[in-house]
Amino acid sequence: MIRVLHIIDKLSVDGSGIHGIARALEWWASRIDPKQVSFRILSLRGREEEAAGFFEKRGIDLRFVKLGKFDLRTVPVLCREALAYQADVLHLHGYASTNFGRIASRIISRPNVVHEHVVFPSQPIYQEWADSLLSGITDSSLAISPAVAQFMVEERRVPARGLETFFYGIPFDEFSAPSPEEIAAARREAGVPAGAKVIVTAGRLAPQKGLGTLVEAFARIAASRDDVSLVIVGEGPERSTVEKAATEAGLSDRVHLVGFQKDVRPWIAMGNLFVIPSFYEGGPITLFEAMRLSRAIVSTPVGLVPQAIRNGENGLLVEPGEVDSLAQAMVSVLADPERQKTLGQQAFVDSNEWDVRGAVDRLTRFYRNLIGKW
């Protein structure tokens, strides 16, 4: 059996409770064959109660340490944790984890995996230095998409050898469509008028998510249609900015910010249209949830999106920041119920390619090959 220690900077961000990468770790741990691979997760932020409860409820081995992201004492702590677990592989997620984890892996003679989940438009100068210094002790690496793989080679100095693209997969085996009652309850909670068409977006409210572009594009639609509402699911530092933009556009009664929702299914399903207006992404989980719920999708071609969405076949693609293009794409779907249905049906069919069970099988082979080469 291969024992893998997943080291991650943190399990939540901006009020999310548990972020997408942490959710993926739970999906893998719950489905991987325990006779072949065992997981332990080590978070460097310190105990996060909601995330801890999430993992502990599912019987997943989770530990916490609390040291600063520049604290060199992290290295001996990771060495002790890895040796105590008898880890065969150190699988690393996040800046601090990949920095200290690569050093620790060398000290204890275990292979490491640097795993990147998103393209950042810029990196802190300290991380550029760290990646340059640690490039030579990077044993293998995983990128969520080809765009992220390019970012890892060009910006994070990860060697192209041993780099693979790997999407974490979506647990469609536990994903079911919400009931009409659940959808109706979500509409009532959001305050969406009966009979209104709904545009939905879901994710962390952060600058890279392009919510300003979305609100501006929605304002152009709302100027000529009074039967459309915008629902924004999620929390984050941009909430007040989005609220201000909606108020200034005179749309505070038609732009509904509903906060973080543990179960996004009824919120996505209430929409006639699901939109991802981001400037950059990794592999947005909500994209695949929307596909599984047969939603018509309009998205920017960022991160893994171009591998999942074929423009005009199972969704529409528009360039980031282009308000006119986004508004036109949304209107074209809202005005054509048959096109909306066709795009959604094809998205559902294509969602099967992204199931987590295939990802778990591939991850098992990846670990086996890594150990075999070490």
pLDDT in tens, 76-118: 999 999 999 999 999 999 999 999 999 999 999 999 999 999 8
How many whole angstroms separate alpha carbon 118 and alpha carbon 231?
25
∠ at Cα 362 (150, 347), nearest 5°? 75
How many whole angstroms separate alpha carbon 11 and alpha carbon 45?
8
DSSP secondary structure code for residue 303 in this structure:
T
Strand runs (DSSP E) across the chain, as ranges?
2-8, 37-43, 62-64, 89-93, 112-116, 140-143, 163-165, 197-202, 228-233, 255-259, 273-276, 296-299, 316-317
DSSP secondary structure code for residue 321 in this structure:
T
* Among the listed residues 301, 305, 319, the one whose alpha carbon sits nearest the alpha carbon of residue 350: 305
Res 90: pLDDT: 99
33-72: per-residue pLDDT in tens?
A: 999 999 999 999 888 888 888 888 899 999 999 988 899 9
3-class DSSP assignment, residue 170: strand
332-360: per-residue pLDDT in tens?
A: 999 999 999 999 999 999 999 999 999 99
Task: Domain ranges for the chain, please list them.
Answer: 2-169+355-373, 172-354
With cut-offs at 50, 70 and 90, classify the pLDDT of residue 205.
Answer: very high
The residue with tokens 């209107």 is 331
Q: Going by DSSP bridges, is the β-strand pair 316-317/296-299 parallel, antiparallel, or unpaired?
A: parallel
149-188: per-residue pLDDT in tens?
A: 999 999 999 999 989 999 989 999 888 999 999 999 999 9
pTM summary value: 0.78
Give the mean model confidence (pLDDT) for residues 12-30: 81
DSSP secondary structure code for residue 45 in this structure:
B
Domain 172-354 is found in CATH 3.40.50.2000: yes
Give percent above pLDDT 90 in the chain: 81
Res 15: pLDDT: 55
Give the mean model confidence (pLDDT) for residues 245-269: 94
CATH number of 2-169+355-373: 3.40.50.2000
* Amino acid identity for residue 286 in this structure: T
The kind and range of the H/E element at 217 are helix 211-222
Beta pairing partners, 317? 299
How many whole angstroms separate alpha carbon 172 and alpha carbon 290?
12
Q: Please give the backbone phi and psi of residue 150, each rounded to the nearest 5 degrees, phi first.
A: -60, -40
Res 175: pLDDT: 86
Residues 6+ apart with CB under 8 A from 188: none
Mean pLDDT score of the chain, rounded to an integer? 94
| pLDDT exceeds 70 at position 16 | no
Res 83: pLDDT: 98
Res 28: pLDDT: 95
